[in-house]
């Protein structure tokens, strides 16, 4: 299983700053290992940021995104006690989902 998604949210009045770090190798299929063999393509294809189970942001990625992608968002209407979750799936079928409760 992959490493946990790091989710940080800071409520500032009506606006909340959200930072999401998805730990993933994001291989393009163009690099070679120490033996000269091409590393296989391995990247996050889709991700979703949800608030209390309802999608807020849905995105698609490809091989041009760097290792361990970091995304930041601003949102309104988020309050303490709300649940913020992030889920991704990659081209190998692997999936990860993590959730935090805002304080």
Query: Hey, what domains does the chain have and what are their CATH numbers?
Result: 6-101 (2.60.40.10)
Q: What distance in Å separates the CA atoms of residue 96 and residue 1, rounded to the nearest whole number?
A: 8
pLDDT, tens only, 48-58:
999 999 999 99
Pairing of strands 70-76, 54-60: unpaired
Count, residues in the chain:
103
**Stated pTM of the model:** 0.92
Tokens standing for residue 78: 């988020």
Question: What's the average model confidence in pLDDT over 81-86?
Answer: 98
Tokens standing for residue 10: 């800071």
Tokens standing for residue 82: 């709300």
> What residues contact residue 53 under an 8 Å CB cut-off, 6+ apart?
83, 85
Question: What's the average model confidence in pLDDT over 29-58?
Answer: 97
Is residue 38's pLDDT more than 80? yes
Is residue 14's pLDDT more than 80? yes
- How confident is the model at residue 1, as a pLDDT? 61
Q: Is the dihedral of CA 94, 26, 64, 40 positive or negative?
A: negative
pLDDT band with cut points at 50, 70 and 90 for residue 2: confident
Contact 82, 51 (CB under 8 A): yes
Calculate ∠ Cα 102-22-64, nearest 5°.
140
Write down the mean pLDDT value for the chain: 96
């Amino acid at each position: 299983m992959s490493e946990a998604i790091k989710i940080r949210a800071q409520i500032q009045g009506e606006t909340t700053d959200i930072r999401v770090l998805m730990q993933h190798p994001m291989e393009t299929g163009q690099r070679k290992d120490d033996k000269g063999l091409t590393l296989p393509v391995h990247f996050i294809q889709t991700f979703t940021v949800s608030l209390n189970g309802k999608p807020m942001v849905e995105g698609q990625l490809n091989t041009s995104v760097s290792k361990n992608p970091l995304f930041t968002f601003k949102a309104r209407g988020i309050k303490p006690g709300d649940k913020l979750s992030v889920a991704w799936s990659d081209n190998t079928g692997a999936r990860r989902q993590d959730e935090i409760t805002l304080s």
